[in-house]
Amino acid sequence: MEFPLQRALVSAEPLPSSLRGMFQEEWGIDTYQCYGTADVGTIGFECVRKEGLHLAQGLVVQVCDPVTGEPLTIGDVGEVVVTLLNKVYPLIRFGTGDLSRFLEEPCSCGRWASPRLAGFMGRVGDSVKVRGLFLHGHQVKALAGEFPWVRGLQVVVDREGVRDTLVIRVEGKASPNDLKALKTRAEGLFRLKVDAVETVASGELKGSKSLEDRRKWD
Ligand SMILES: [Zn+2]
């Protein structure tokens, strides 16, 4: 039987080409990506060519140096900065925290006047988006600070199939109940399900990032 849903527009997290391929081949769903934030709404969307994101109208989009805020030359990777000239909810140079770059060549779909972004290329600084929600480095530090027995703590985000995984690696003398309490607190603080809490050997976390994103978006 043919699946009734034939076309889909997805958002909130990157769409790997493997997942898009699965939707197309196994379900017959022609799948498109749209990029936006809660504050701005839609920033960009794919056309039939699915080669980058055409910018939505009524926005000024810049790709800027995340440190200086200066606009970069076309083609360079930087932070997506959006200005929304809306009388009710104006936003001036809103930093999305997302990295991307402008594509130079015009799109073969014929919307030659519409600039395109290359799509999501990572996050500025130490925040990652897990299952559609932001997880910030300061939340990880806050969690570690709440448990006196914690000597070191790292959150590892990875991906199994089409699902983001979240594992806490922790160093310190802890009973099974301590680990359970840490997991419960982490889930409350992050508003995300934690897949596992693992204890690591003393010194193993030295020099490592407190929030590590191991996902690969092909
Ligand atoms: Zn196009």
Instruction: Summarize pLDDT for 19-36 with one digit per residue, the tens.
Output: 899 999 999 999 999 999
In this structure, are residues 36 and 58 in contact, taking their beta carbons and an 8 Å threshold?
A: no
Please give the share of the chain, as a percent, with pLDDT higher than 70.
99
CA of 119 to the centre of ligand 1 (A): 13
CA of 109 to the centre of ligand 1 (A): 4
Q: What pLDDT score does 33 carry?
A: 95
The dihedral of CA 165, 46, 98, 142: what is its sign?
negative
**15-to-10, 34, 157, 162, 182 alpha-carbon distances in Å:** 8, 10, 17, 9, 32
* pLDDT of 138 over the 80 cut: no
* CATH level 3 topology of 128-213: GMP Synthetase; Chain A, domain 3 (3.30.300)
CA of 82 to the centre of ligand 1 (A): 21
CATH 3.40.50.12780-classified regions of the chain = 7-125
CATH 3.30.300.30-classified regions of the chain = 128-213
Instruction: Specify the pTM.
Output: 0.65
Homologous superfamily of the 7-125 domain (CATH): ANL, N-terminal domain (3.40.50.12780)
Q: What is the mean pLDDT of the chain?
A: 91
CA dihedral 197, 203, 204, 209 (to 10 degrees): 80
CA of 196 to the centre of ligand 1 (A): 42
* pLDDT of 53 over the 80 cut: yes
Q: What pLDDT score does 13 carry?
A: 81
CA of 90 to the centre of ligand 1 (A): 28
* Interval 113-120 mean pLDDT: 88
CA of 110 to the centre of ligand 1 (A): 6
CA of 113 to the centre of ligand 1 (A): 10
Q: What pLDDT score does 1 carry?
A: 63
Q: What pLDDT score does 122 carry?
A: 77
Residue 171's SS3 state is strand
Q: Tens digit of pLDDT for each residue in 144-161?
A: 989 999 999 999 999 998
CA of 35 to the centre of ligand 1 (A): 15
CA of 168 to the centre of ligand 1 (A): 41
Bridge partner residues of 59 (DSSP): 84
